[in-house]
Amino acid sequence: MKNTIMTLLIVTLSLIGLARSASFYEVGDTNGWTTKMGLDYYKTWSSLKTFYVGDSLIFQYNKDLHNVMEVSFKDYELCNPNSALATYHSEYEPVKLNRTGHYYFICGVPGHCECGQKLEVLVMAPASLQNPATTQQNNSSTSSNPKPNPTIPDPKPKPNPTSPDPKPKPSPRWEDPLVVLPVDAATIASLPHNVASDPCVWSGLSLLSFVLLQTLVFL
């Protein structure tokens, strides 16, 4: 009985950690989901953030001109929209990250992915569920055995600035100026309900953990 209550308490505390860590990320920040930011903008944007299971992405775009497709790594590299894992057409719709690993997103409109409208996101397990010993071991091994960063010469010749580009980039469709809403409390409240971020959920879990702890003490 005592072991069962201890197990329930650990699970409850873990769920509380998941609920508290859920966050909303506005893709591209104030620039939104667009073709205007260049080839590496969204790659740089995602590399500056840490995503955890339970977090959500919010894509803001003109739904008449863009969409959001979750694709495989191969289709992400090839900008192939024909085998999408999921497709979203509603702007401001939260895309929940419900597993660890890599997520890949592109805009399926012809030419948009090639112009840089593509996003890769790496999702981590919450810190409360990670193995501290493994993390410390990985960090120590990395610091004690740093790998050299070799300089690889670029085999491609530099283009002549006076010569025309032999491979012109595809021209995306014309698009209206995008008004990006800030992801504040009012905006989040207007979005579809997210159970992980509901304060009532983790408040209830906190109360449950307190009851379990009291029961464990008096056994």
pLDDT digit string (tens) for the chain, length 219 residues? 545 544 554 444 444 444 445 789 999 999 999 999 999 999 999 999 999 999 999 999 998 899 999 999 999 999 999 999 999 988 787 899 999 999 999 999 999 999 999 999 999 998 655 554 444 544 444 444 555 555 555 555 555 555 555 555 555 554 545 556 666 656 655 554 444 444 444 455 556 666 665 665 566
Nearest to 126 by CA among 8, 7, 13, 9: 13
Q: Cβ distance 62 to 68 under 8 Å? A: no
Residue-level pLDDT at 197: 43
Residue-level pLDDT at 22: 75
Residue-level pLDDT at 93: 79
Distance CA 28, CA 180 (A): 10
Residue-level pLDDT at 83: 94
* Order of strands, sheet of 101-106, starting from the edge strand that comes earlier in the sequence: 51-52, 118-124, 101-106, 68-70, 86-88
Length of the chain: 219
Residue-level pLDDT at 183: 61
